[in-house]
Structure 1
Amino acid sequence: MSLTSVTQSPRSTGTGTATRGLRRAATVAALTAAAVLAGAGAAFAHVTVHPDSYPQGASDGTLTFRVPNEEDKADTTQVDVFFPAAQPIASVLVAPLPGWTSTVKTVKLAKPIVTDDGNITDAVSEVLWTGGKIAPGQYQDFTVAFGQLPTGVDQLVFKALQTYSDGNVVRWIDETVKGQPEPDHPAPVLTLTAPVPDGGDSAAPSAAPSAAASAAPNTSAAATAAKPSDSTARGLGIAALVVAVLALAAAGLGLVRARSRQ
């Protein structure tokens, strides 16, 4: 009996060590993947503008504001996007959207915008969409075409209000400060890059949703990424899952080898 006990002890220890290693690898990999994917989900839930960059002074382009519904039991019934007053955009045209009514509001400029076609004294202050609804678990794209973007600035901040059928209003107005954590309700930001030289193409990047997609009925928010950063986060999450599988396979191989020594 004593010999049997001594013989079984190392076998049991080897198997137990491999099993514990397997569990640790699975736990670490799962937590890593969950953390990365949770970050992607948080970014996806924000109101965003697409594309997220344009050259300064770009003309005849479009801006699409993507609005997800974050509530479980209420519909989004109104979306109000405010245009930056300090960097005015003279005019916009709103893409038609079934079920929604749009209203463009303007403001008198203290300093007219000088163009080749004359001075512009009014600029867009906000665009309001009402009458439709975005159900829980869905999003909607709201698209406008602009005449020309301003120059001399590196970004445009579009603050937005999202109203729900239960009366709740989410204020997407917080500005992100470099070096600090992203606020809970960041305002959509359009980055303005260096102006395109004369003769260059100032068209929007290909990231802008198509006009057909923008005018389509509400779509499941899980169907597409809101921003390139979300796609990157999802890619990292997938990579973490791959690491988990490899870790499990390696630990499992160790377990098999431990058992084969029995």
Structure 2
Amino acid sequence: MRTPSALRLAAASAVAAATVLAAAATASAHVIVDPSSVPKDTTDQTFAFRVPNEDDDNSTVKVEIDFPTDHPVPSALVAPVPGWTDKITTTKLTTPIHTDDGDVTEVVSQIVWTGGQIAPGHYQDFTVEFGALPEGTDKVVFKALQTYSNGNVVRWIDEPQAGQPEPKNPAPVLTLTAATGDDGDSPSAAPGATAGVKPAPAAKGGSATTTTTTTTTAAAGGSDSTARGLGIAGIVVGVLGTVAGVLLGRRGRGGDAGTSA
């Protein structure tokens, strides 16, 4: 016979498991940039725009990432994503960005991926290497548009505000922390990255006016990645269930022993 304490323990374990699953689902629900925070003097850093599929019935078939033009990213390389084609739009600056290697006059303003699919219950990383980061700002806000196979478009464009609740569709935000004081080198882009626009490694401010477009095609084939968050949640749930079972079993054996005595 199960005691009230054992029942309470089992109920608590179930609630904890449900909380973990809910947290994992929430954490993976937004389009994000990963890593989400780096020092301002970071160079040659690989970032992944992680796009989860929130629709139970439709696949994601198009992803658009818009780069800021008020504080432009001075250089970027786009890695091929199996099964997807990337289209890179560049913008000419009215005020060049001055670097030790010369002036940067053209920057990436938009990348669009099409041709592939992100199935329900999966996510996809779209990888870009930044040769340098913007100066004069503590954050870089990217606006993302996610198109589903039924034609629905989710606009991840709302900028989170300090002290305010998170918006329904928050834009991916890269936070820039204090400079490290060294050369700021970070891991380079994944092997096989295809060139977008990478003029020079260091940056100062500038503003955008006109645009041109360059297209590169990613290699075909491959499959969607499985969601890490759900895997972790499953492990946690399994551990909680095992602990609850062991404790309930011990209490049951204790009660039987008392009855036979």
TM-score, normalised on structure 1?
Answer: 0.74
1:180-235 deviations in whole A, cap 9, x for unaligned? 4433322222222222324x44214xxx995479978232433x35xxxx99x849
In structure 2, list runs of 5 or more residues that go unmatched.
194-217
2:226 is matched with 221
Q: Which has the larger radius of gyration?
A: 1
1:34 is matched with 18
Q: Runs of 4 or more off by more than 6 Å in structure 1? A: 212-216
Give the stretch that moved more between structures: 118-127 or 245-254: 245-254
Cα distance between partner residues in 2 of 1:245 and 1:132 = 40
1:141 is matched with 125
Letter in structure 1 aligned against 2:91: V
Does 2:48 correspond to 1:64? Answer: yes
Choose which of 234, 239, 257 in structure 1 pairs with 2:254: 257
Does 2:101 correspond to 1:104? Answer: no
1:86-134 deviations in whole A, cap 9, x for unaligned? 2211232222233322222233435432212333333322111122222
The alpha carbon displacement at 1:67 in A equals 1.4
Rate the CA distance shift 1:211–1:188 in 2: closer, same or farther, 3 A.
farther
Rate the CA distance shift 1:102–1:196 in 2: closer, same or farther, 3 A.
same
Q: Which has the higher helix share?
A: 1
1:11 is matched with none
Cα distance between partner residues in 2 of 1:209 and 1:37 = 32
Q: Residue 167 of structure 2: SS of its match in structure 1?
A: coil
Letter in structure 2 aligned against 1:253: R
1:202 is matched with 185
Cα distance between partner residues in 1 of 2:7 and 2:191 = 49
The alpha carbon displacement at 1:76 in A equals 1.3
Rate the CA distance shift 1:27–1:73 in 2: closer, same or farther, 3 A.
same
The alpha carbon displacement at 1:246 in A equals 4.0
Rate the CA distance shift 1:246–1:91 in 2: closer, same or farther, 3 A.
closer
Rate the CA distance shift 1:50–1:37 in 2: closer, same or farther, 3 A.
same
Give the stretch that moved more between structures: 189-198 or 177-186: 177-186
Rate the CA distance shift 1:251–1:129 in 2: closer, same or farther, 3 A.
closer
1:3 is matched with none
Cα distance between partner residues in 2 of 1:212 and 1:102 = 14
What is the number of equivalent residue pairs in this alignment?
A: 234
Alignment of 1:167-186 (within 5 A): 167-186=151-170
